[in-house]
Amino acid sequence: MRSPLIPEMATQEVQLNETLAHLKSESESLKSKLEEERAKLHDVELHQVAEKVEGLGQFVMKTRRTLKGHGNKVLCMDWCKDKRRIVSSSQDGKVIVWDAFTTNKEHAVTMPCTWVMACAYAPSGCAVACGGLDNKCSVYPLSLDKNENLAAKKKSVAMHTNYLSACSFTNSDMQILTSSGDGTCALWDVESGQLLQSFHGHAADVLCLDLAPSETGNTFVSGGCDKKANVWDMRSGQCIQSFETHESDINSVRYYPSGDAFASGSDDATCRLYDLRADREVAIYSKESIIFGVSSVDFSLSGRLLFGGYNDYTINVWDVLKGTRVSILFGHENRVSTLRVSPDGTAFSTGSWDHTLRIWA
Amino acid sequence: MCIKVILSHCLKFRKSVVLEMQDPKSGVKSQPQRLVITAIPHAVTGEDIVNWLSERLLVDTEEARSVGSMLAALGYIYPLQQHKRLVIRADASLYRFQTPYFWPTQQWPVEDTDYAIYLAKRNIRKKGILELHEQEQYNHLHKWMNHKWDFIVMQAKEQYRAAKERKKPDRVVFECQERAYWVVHRPPPGTVSAMDFGLERRADPNANQVQGEETGKLAHSSFLIPLSRNFSRCSLFSVVSLVKYSSTYQSHDPFLSRPLPSNPWHTDDATYWTLNSHNVETPTKQRVERWTFSFAELLSDPRGRDDFRLFLKKEFSGENLAFWESCEDLKWGTAATMKEKAEQIYKTFLARGAPRWINIDGKTMEITIKSLKHPHRYVLDAAQTHIYMLMKKDSYGRYLKSPVFKETQKKAIAPEEHNDSQLEQNARTRRPSLSPIVLRQLEAERRAKMAAAAPVDITQVMSKLSRKPQ
């Protein structure tokens, strides 16, 4: 009795394809309309406005500390608010808390999974969050007792359906924002593990996120494999702005210190700056000699410098306003996978696939 | 990240620059070189490669060498001597350009079968020629490819026989090329490989995906949102403000102007951090200057906020800041205590006759009280924004002109710059600092002491009495 059903199903399938095709063409026409509208606006580039700004002098930046102790690729790191401690995570599942100033290791945790791609320091400095291939984000309260097994007090907070790519505490130890390979971001309550809000809109893995600096602090930006950078309202879960000018995966996004713009780093070997109020890209940071992707970006305290860690083992320092490269730093012996500027801007730290972390100043 | 992604981007650059390098007129100069007893044609020195790249890409020699090494790591250039180390040395070391057949961008998958054939072929040529790691690989492949082994040996023999029919120079060149190819794709242990891509990402944006209806709709709706907003026609203004922000903070950026007394990472002296700690009695002049940049700056610095709180107390408008802080606590706090907190805030700040009643306009008050019936963490957003703006536009300006601020400004210290002579000694006496865990304990103890010693707050007592059942 199957034959009468088949023509029906066939018609349904045709209808579905038609709807899809219709949606797709409407999508394309909306996209070009959007580009038209954006182009109509005064198309000013940042470097044009910054023509009269004084140029930067010579820089002497070098490695001030090298942190050795990970047995495999370092994948992520974060600074503590005390400006000298850092937490780092690696491919072999180890998460280490260091006092970068003395290079002493203070705490260590072994995760039950490998590829711990995300880690974050709690604002109080008394806990760390991490996750990766276990699809979860767990919070470990730190303890001064050297004999205590930190894994015993661990709290499993976030649960995704694919790998955890990034995590960040909000303004307190009580909430965590996560992004995942399952294409979503989510906000969680640490104490209960409850999902407070989820953010859907990326069409592929979400690789990075950054919270907006505090004044009106209810938004964050995320970047993904769909080449899009999306700005989200934490309260409603809505995507309020979207930018798609990169030609490949966006590996890192970071807000400009004023919160009015953000930078992104991508596998297409460029970094770009997007102005939120002008609603468009206002600068591209690229050079013919740079052919490898950017894994991680961060701004100096004033926002004048943009540091980028690249997959060709180097760090490039850009003059944000003028769009020129002011310095290139060598030292790592494999990909630079993570880069963060310290909370008071006195140094920046890089983590690399060569198993080490370096502090530069 | 997919192999396709990492290799497809910048394909144009690599192809064009690598081809340019080989141009007989304008490329890197090459000549035949004698290697052992055979002459190898078209060999180039590392030094020439570096110089050519340096000129072409307008970079210095160190960067040119780095770019060259990347091209070698990917397999576009290979060394004739020390063939296992895929780096460019800027000296007379010899290199050749890899034949396009073996370029990684050719996108045919690197099969274990091919590797097995290659190793078998070398074994036929001369027994015992395989290196230790190659021998291990060979044994491993022999084990799990056992069912194909006859085919592999047959192919190896065939290729070996075909190679013998070539002229010796061609044969030597091909052997070098093939060997280089396998160094890239089966790197010797302990070397860094450019073919190491890390974790595979779930989605390859370059693939023509058949999107499900749901993702199609999502992509569709994401464009509707931006179009429906009012575009800011002041994009020039916005970009200018980015420039202005940078200029304002330039003198505070440790990478652009020296922090006083010194950057701890440069001199190993942590005085800069001690002088700028959270609860320091006397802040530095730099720090106080930042409080004048914006209200957000003042609030985000705990020492600044304390100063502002002191000023508000003198003006009898401390409840505004207290309300704002309670709202922050509600927004970012645990879900479990949220309802309780919201109620407490209502009783303390919003209810009629509340002990610390805040002055917000009627409409906001109405909306807030209505939403408090079903509290959620953003329930006080409207009221919080109103109070924030009030403080920003009114109190902040008066604070900056107030005696409290002027006093703080006067007392602020300007530390003297450290001289460099102490460096070595400092490095030896690097001290650890108190763990944040300890600091948190100390802070909690301090608060407990203050609460115990504090005079009775009459407003608290009154509110407690009013709550008691009559």
Query: Do the Cβ atoms of B201 and A225 come closer than 8 Å?
Result: yes
Query: Do the Cβ atoms of A94 and A111 come closer than 8 Å?
Result: yes
Structure tokens at B403: 């005696």
Q: Using CB atoms, which residue from B196, B205, B333 is nearest to A226?
A: B205
HEC string of A85-120 equals EEEEEECCCEEEEEECCCCEEEEEEECCCCCCCEEE
HEC string of B103-119 equals CHHHCCCCCHHHHHHHH
What pLDDT digit, counting tens, does each position of B327-371 carry?
Answer: 999 999 999 999 999 999 999 999 888 999 998 888 999 999 888
Mean pLDDT on B161-166: 89
What pLDDT digit, counting tens, does each position of A238-274 carry?
Answer: 999 999 999 999 999 999 999 999 999 999 999 999 9
pLDDT bin (cut points 50, 70, 90) of residue B421 is low
Q: DSSP of B379-394, one letter per residue? A: TTHHHHHHHHHHIIII
Q: DSSP of A6-55, one letter per residue? A: HHHHHHHHHHHHHHHHHHHHHHHHHHHHHHHHHHHS----HHHHGGGSPP
Q: Which of B12-16, B207-211, B305-309, B372-376 is the least confident region?
A: B207-211
Q: Using CB atoms, which residue from A239, A248, A279 is nearest to B222?
A: A239
What pLDDT digit, counting tens, does each position of B245-261 carry?
Answer: 999 999 999 999 999 89
pLDDT for residue B223: 44
| A267 reaches B (C-beta below 8 A) | yes
Minimal CA separation from A249 to chain B, in Å: 8
Minimal CA separation from A2 to chain B, in Å: 26
Query: Do the Cβ atoms of A192 and B336 come closer than 8 Å?
Result: yes
Strand (E) or helix (H) holding A283:
strand A280-285
Cβ–Cβ gap B205/A261 under 8 Å: no
**Chain A 181-240, CB below 8 Å of chain B: which residues?**
181-183, 189-192, 194, 196, 200-201, 203-205, 207, 213-215, 218, 225-227, 230, 235, 238-240
Cβ–Cβ gap B246/A302 under 8 Å: yes
Minimal CA separation from B188 to chain A, in Å: 16
Measure the CA–CA gap between A130 and A153, rounded to whole angstroms: 14
Query: Do the Cβ atoms of A302 and B253 come closer than 8 Å?
Result: yes
Measure the CA–CA gap between A221 and B11, rounded to whole angstroms: 30
pLDDT for residue B287: 95
* Amino acid of residue A138: S
pLDDT for residue A20: 85
| A172 reaches B (C-beta below 8 A) | yes
Q: How many CA atoms lie within 13 A of B16 on its CB side?
A: 9
Tracing tokens 């974050």 back to the chain, one arrives at A120
Contacts of B294 (CB under 8 A, 6+ apart): A215
Measure the CA–CA gap between B466 and B470, rounded to whole angstroms: 9
How does DSSP classify residue B453? H
- Chain mean position to CA B256: 20
Mean pLDDT on A85-112: 95
What pLDDT digit, counting tens, does each position of B136-156 carry?
Answer: 999 999 998 889 899 999 999
Closest residue by Cα to residue B249 from A344, A196, A208, A78: A344
| A258 reaches B (C-beta below 8 A) | yes
Measure the CA–CA gap between A192 and B333, rounded to whole angstroms: 12
Of residues A22 and A250, the one with the higher pLDDT is A250
pLDDT for residue B123: 85
Among the residues of B276-379, which ranges form H helices?
A: 285-291, 295-300, 302-315, 318-332, 338-345, 362-371
The complex's ipTM works out to: 0.87
How does DSSP classify residue B395? I
Query: Do the Cβ atoms of A155 and A148 come closer than 8 Å?
Result: no
Closest residue by Cα to residue A243 from A35, A26, A33: A35
Measure the CA–CA gap between B393 and B406, rounded to whole angstroms: 19
Size of chain B, expressed as the number of residues it contains: 470
**Chain A 273-302, CB below 8 Å of chain B: which residues?**
275-280, 282, 287-289, 291-293, 300-302
Among the residues of chain A, which ranges form H helices?
A: 5-40, 46-49
Q: Using CB atoms, which residue from B202, B263, B335 is nearest to A189?
A: B335
| Residue B207 CA: distances (Å) to CA of A350, B8, B159, B204 | 32, 12, 35, 6
Minimal CA separation from B404 to chain A, in Å: 24
**pTM for the complete prediction?**
0.87
Tell me the pLDDT of chain B averaged across its residues.
83
> For the range B159-166, what are the long-range contacts, defined as Cβ-Cβ under 8 Å and sequence gap of 24 or more?
B159/B117, B159/B121, B160/B121, B160/B124, B160/B125
Measure the CA–CA gap between A296 and A155, rounded to whole angstroms: 28
pLDDT for residue A216: 60
Cβ–Cβ gap A99/B433 under 8 Å: yes
B216: chain A residues, CB-CB within 8 Å: 20, 23-24, 27
Residues of A56-76 as b/e, b for ≥16 C-beta within 10 angstroms? Answer: beeeebeebbebebbeebbbb
Cβ–Cβ gap B202/A104 under 8 Å: no
**Phi/psi at A176 (5° precision):** -130, 140
Measure the CA–CA gap between B469 and B248, rounded to whole angstroms: 57
Measure the CA–CA gap between B413 and B292, rounded to whole angstroms: 16
Tell me the pLDDT of chain A averaged across its residues.
92
Of residues A242 and A152, the one with the higher pLDDT is A242
Minimal CA separation from B264 to chain A, in Å: 8
How does DSSP classify residue B293? T
Measure the CA–CA gap between B299 and A216, rounded to whole angstroms: 12
